[in-house]
Amino acid sequence: MSRATHPGACPLDCPDTCTWQLTVEDGRAVALRGDRDHPFTRGALCGKVNRYLDAVNGPDRLTHPLMRTGPKGVGPVSYRPASWDEAIGRVAAGLRASIDRDGPEAVLPYYFAGTMGLVQGWTMGPRLFAHLGASRLDTTICTAAARAALGSLLGGSVGFEPESIVDAKLIVLWGANLLSTNLHQWPFVQQARQRSAYVVTIDPLRTDTAARSDEHVAPLPGTDAALALGLMRLVRDAGAADRDWLAAHTVGWPELSARLDEWPAERAAAECGLDVEVVRRLGERIATTRPTAIRVGLGPQRHHGAGQAIRAICALSLVTGDFRYPGGGALCTTSGHHRVPLDPVVRPRDMPAPPARSINMSRLAAVLTGEADPPVTSLVVFNSNPAATAPDQRRLHAGLRRADLFTVVLEQRWTDTCDFADIVLPATMQPEHLDLQTSYGHHYTTLNLPATRAPGEALPNTEIFRRIAAALGLDHPRLRDSDEDLARQLLRDAPVSFEELRERTYARATGVAVGSAPYAEGGFPTPDGRARLLDPRLAGHGVDPLVGYTPPAEAADPELARRFPLVLISPAGRFLMNSTFASLPWHAGRTGPPRVHLHPDDAAARGLADGDAVRVHNDRGAFLAAVAVDDATRPGLAFTYKAYWARLSPGGTTVNAVTAVRDTDLGGGPTFHDTRVEVEPAPVELPAVETAPGPVRETAGPRG
């Protein structure tokens, strides 16, 4: 028996991008733990990934290509096994038929962060479709609003160095439930607390993180910008605006200062549904505490005014001048620090890539039901499960059932989206292929090398696309690049080489040092190095050029509120990673069946008790859940965890049956947290649910 340990990287959609140690016996992964030497992982894996090998070794892995023989939407009974040659030939024929009939833009690749690996996720597939002239995918479904907002304000997705948060004296976790979604940042926060830092969580819900913070501020969903403007007003009036730093390193402060006259604490508190003294106390604390670090999560960008919200929150750190100090400033994502540009790899200079339209992935339900002209008649899905994760689920499923839509899905196990496929192709998982991982939560790049054999005939995404290209008769040499070739191309301008990563596995690869203040003297990645509190370019997008407040759409609609009085948000849970683990027994068992959390006042007004079966609905659709009555939320606000699969849920729908196809003010992102619903008793019984007094509590610290 051979036994060895191999380093690698977690591929999942999480800012932590952990480095792990994988133990392999006779070609099979048998144990997994966090890398104890990695400066950010520190030996810990989260509750989700501690059981990652359940997914790798699960009996439900797809091992052979499958072809549909029956109706769409009914599951595996409609499929038969096929050889790779037969399946790839059918894929090529289907794509060619769409191109010949409707032009190349009738083909849409649909992909996202099922793996964050750059090689398997963001190179060969997009390269093939760019060369074909297929519609280009605008990957909006997660961070589009933040990318657009940060690009406007700071010139890119940049911020303070996350390990340096230990030097902060005040830490504001704004819409960031670290214990569920950024676990490895929490020990650094705790280290700062040991040095007397005060921790405030701003979140509509009393999350795990809020419960463990020194203070919890719970504004109404979608009012983050109003709160930020009120806090800036208090900072200014206290004489704590860093006017010298603002004059040297920003544009637009005089205009923003004038706007703050309109935002006294009373107005901000009223807009946010907060006691005015809560706003005043927080403003005074921010005004008098240097450095203050604001860690911005992804929650604030899930409503209509998301772009302005991210601009306003991060502008608060510009007004205080906290970017001067190590551990100070704002951070939403570190992506802009990683010098690994995708576009030159997807569309190399020596490879033709005809101009093509862009399609917003968050609008897939509308695209497949009439919005696109010419219509999309071929859909190729990889690293994504849109039938579960995209908004307006009922309309989306109707589009996926179209008889004239040819759908190909690359997958590791049978998902909701596979139900609608014409061809299902088995894909490898992280221990079975080469990949390159950057991070949106720290400054390390990691190389993942294959360590185990793939089950059955599963192939890496890259190899599947190489075979599709060959079957289409495309002979450009760039469509034959190996995975190592692709990794080397990605690293061409990076401060670390492929050879170094092969030797060391990971390296700090951004040029930003731990303990530094990278923007102490400005130098933001804007043309003049100044942050833009006023950005005239935004007027062309219909957005106020000056940092301000755009209210939520449904949440702030009084007429809609009369019919659907509850605002519903759908945050991430502790044991599910988007839709990746929803079918695995351990993860599903720990998460439990779908629940909708109601404040006791809202439950009593509807005659509902803990565990009752309910129907959550609006004009778009409905889903079934059990009630969890607790005070983790506030009156008028309900929440349910995202990531369930429709095919495994009671009634065959999930929370995305009620979410809308609606764009954020900047970036074209989705508005999952800007949804109004009503909750009523369900006409059916649901599986028994063991409810808790609040969200499941996560633990933090090295383990494994």
Residue 180 lies inside a defined structural domain of this protein: yes
Q: What's this model's pTM, rounded to 2 decimal places?
A: 0.95
CA atoms of 644 and 635, how far apart (whole Å): 25
SS3 labels along 570-614: CCCCCCCCCCCCCCCHHHHHHHCCCEEEECHHHHHHCCCCCCCEE
CA atoms of 322 and 168, how far apart (whole Å): 10
The answer to whether 399 and 430 have CB atoms below 8 angstroms apart is no
Residues 32 and 178 in one domain: no
Give the domain-ending residue among 476, 508, 540.
508
Rounded to a whole number of angstroms, the CA Rg of the chain reads 25
CA atoms of 540 and 5, how far apart (whole Å): 54
Residue 150 lies inside a defined structural domain of this protein: no
The residue whose two tokens read 């979608």 is: 222
- Number of CB atoms found within 10 A of residue 103's CB: 15
Q: Which domain holds residue 661?
A: 558-681
CATH code where residue 649 lies: 2.40.40.20
Give the domain-ending residue among 470, 489, 508.
508
CATH code where residue 180 lies: 3.40.228.10
Residue 540 lies inside a defined structural domain of this protein: no
Q: In what order do the strands lie in the sheet with 435-437?
A: 435-437, 444-448, 506-508
- pLDDT for position 696: 34
- pLDDT for position 703: 29
Query: Which segments of 491-580 does DSSP mark as H helices, in order?
Result: 498-504, 558-563
CATH code where residue 476 lies: 3.40.50.740
User: Residue 208 — φ and ψ, nearest 5°?
Assistant: -55, -45
Residues 298 and 408 in one domain: no
Residue 36 lies inside a defined structural domain of this protein: yes
Instruction: Please give the torsion angle defined by the CA atoms of residues 178, 179, 183 and 186, in that order, rounded to the nearest 10 degrees.
Output: 70
Residues 175 and 320 in one domain: yes
Q: Write the CA distances from 486 to 20, 206, 352, 427, 428, integer angstroms.
A: 23, 44, 17, 18, 17
- pLDDT for position 683: 82
Q: How many helices (H) and strands (E) does the chain have?
A: 24, 27
Residues 53 and 71 in one domain: no
Cβ contacts of 248 within 8 Å, gap of 6 or more: 522
Residues 347 and 308 in one domain: no
CA atoms of 382 and 404, how far apart (whole Å): 20
Instruction: Count how many domains the chain has.
Output: 4
The answer to whether 365 and 399 have CB atoms below 8 angstroms apart is yes
Give the domain-ending residue among 474, 508, 542.
508
Residue 520 lies inside a defined structural domain of this protein: no
Residues 473 and 358 in one domain: yes
Residue 219 lies inside a defined structural domain of this protein: yes
Residues 238 and 126 in one domain: no
Strands 292-296 and 566-569: unpaired
Residue 183's Cβ-count burial label (10 Å; 0-12, 13-18, 19+) is: buried
| DSSP reduced 3-state for 111 | strand
Q: Write the CA distances from 10 to 228, 267, 345, 362, integer angstroms.
A: 34, 45, 23, 25
CA atoms of 567 and 474, how far apart (whole Å): 50
Instruction: Please give the torsion angle defined by the CA atoms of residues 89, 95, 100 and 104, in that order, rounded to the nearest 10 degrees.
Output: -150
Residues of the chain with pLDDT under 50: 688-704
Pull the structure tokens for residue 625: 């859940």
